[in-house]
Structure 1
Amino acid sequence: MAYIKLPEFEQMSPAIQEKARPILEKTGTLGEIFKLLAVDENIYNATDTMVQNYLIKQTHLPYYIKEAIALLISKENSCKMCVDVHKNIAKMLGLTQEQIDEILQGIDAMHTDEKTKRLLEFCIRASKKDNYKMTQEDIDAIKSYGWSDKEILEAVAITGYFNYINTLSNVFGLGKG
């Protein structure tokens, strides 16, 4: 039960109802995070823009890496709701249950190349409160594995997005019953 009153479909603005309708038709329900964002249309729109451009759209990073970031950062932030949601999204995007389990066991358990592991470690480091201590050497180190500026920027943007959405979920008690 969320710590604030979440709107039901009928209480949402017409613009958000328009976005909610296909979800309701497909799944029969709206998740708590959708309802939380629907409290404020500006916050909903800003968040939806990030989701569309970082996670849904084909970008510089493959979906496997995007979902690995989602799962790792959400786990790091103790956001059970986001971990559960992204397990399902990862499956829809073609990740196997074995891959998802490996990601959730941590980077060392993953059967992926060293380049990907180093990017994921970089993202976890970037998600920390002391990320202001990161330096040119940190960027140069990750670039030495072959990551481009655009890929690194995208990975950090996705990391920041999950810090943001995990914070909303955790602060407002989403997924806790």
Structure 2
Amino acid sequence: MSAWIEMISDEDADADLRAALDLARTPHGTVDNVMRVHSLRPNTMRGHVVLYRAALHDAANTLPTWLQETISSYVSLLNDCGYSLANHWKNARHLIGDDARADAIWAALEARAPERVFAGAELALMRYAEKLTLEPGRMVAADVQALKAAGLDDGAILEANQIVGYFNYVNRCLNGLGVSTAGDIVGYYAENEAE
């Protein structure tokens, strides 16, 4: 466990915190630092878990999972959040399933040039994610109209908006409290398939 504030271990948790920790457990039975950093305030941990799962892991989402993870990674890259980037790019890379394609996507995102690898709706989503992350006060109706013109419906636009909003929230929480991946298992998709 690593952060600039205290994080309470499972062994030292009271009943209320234990219940929040149980809600936040990964498929491996662990609690990642991104959630454990809330251990002094279990209610924010519960809220964070629910928000995360609703934004990124809801069965009703229609955006492909690899694209959700790539949007998450791009926002985290723009925010210089190593924690989220390590986890979500590992997931995106695995879900892309093609190392050459993943390398090309990574290089384009790192250069802030998504047009090198994306077109249509995917490119529109990356541009939307970048502007909403870096210039939220400059968003205009035309930004959403561009997504619609690229073929996205309002539900998919809402999904993208929530993913971008969530990662801007969590990146600031993690960076602001010095949370690291020390002790975490980074990424889950590849590991879960082996189980």
TM range (shorter): 0.7 to 0.9
State the secondary structure of the residue aligned to 2:167: helix
Question: Where do 5+ consecutive residues of structure 2 fail to align?
Answer: 183-195
Name which of 60, 70, 73 aligns with 1:71: 73
Equivalent in the alignment of 2:36: 35
Once the 2 structures are TM-superposed, how far is the Cα of residue 99 of structure 1 from its aligned partner?
4.2
Q: Deviations over 1:104-152 (max 9, x none)?
A: 3211343x44221111111111112x32222122222221111111111
Is 2:105 aligned against 1:103?
yes
User: Does the Cα contact within 8 Å between 1:87 and 1:100 map onto a contact in 2?
Assistant: no
Q: Deviations over 1:15-65 (max 9, x none)?
A: 123235x54x826x5322121133321111111111211111221211122
State the secondary structure of the residue aligned to 1:152: helix
What RMSD, in angstroms, separates the aligned Cα atoms of the two structures?
Answer: 2.2
Structure 1 pair 46–99 and aligned structure 2 pair: CA distance change class (3 A): farther
State the secondary structure of the residue aligned to 1:124: helix
State the secondary structure of the residue aligned to 1:87: helix
User: Does the Cα contact within 8 Å between 2:77 and 2:85 map onto a contact in 1?
Assistant: yes
Question: Where do 5+ consecutive residues of structure 1 fail to align?
Answer: none
2: distance between equivalents of 1:48 and 1:62?
A: 21
2: distance between equivalents of 1:52 and 1:113?
A: 28
User: Does the Cα contact within 8 Å between 1:75 and 1:83 map onto a contact in 2?
Assistant: yes
Once the 2 structures are TM-superposed, how far is the Cα of residue 171 of structure 1 from its aligned partner?
0.5
2: distance between equivalents of 1:101 and 1:143?
A: 28
Letter in 2 for 1:108: E
TM-score (norm: length of structure 1)? 0.84
- Aligned runs of 1:17-32 on 2, under 5 Å? 17-19=21-23, 23=26, 26=28, 29-32=30-33
Count of matched residue pairs = 171
TM-score (norm: length of structure 2)? 0.77
2: distance between equivalents of 1:52 and 1:157?
A: 11
Moved more, 46-55 or 164-173: 46-55
Structure 1 pair 145–163 and aligned structure 2 pair: CA distance change class (3 A): same
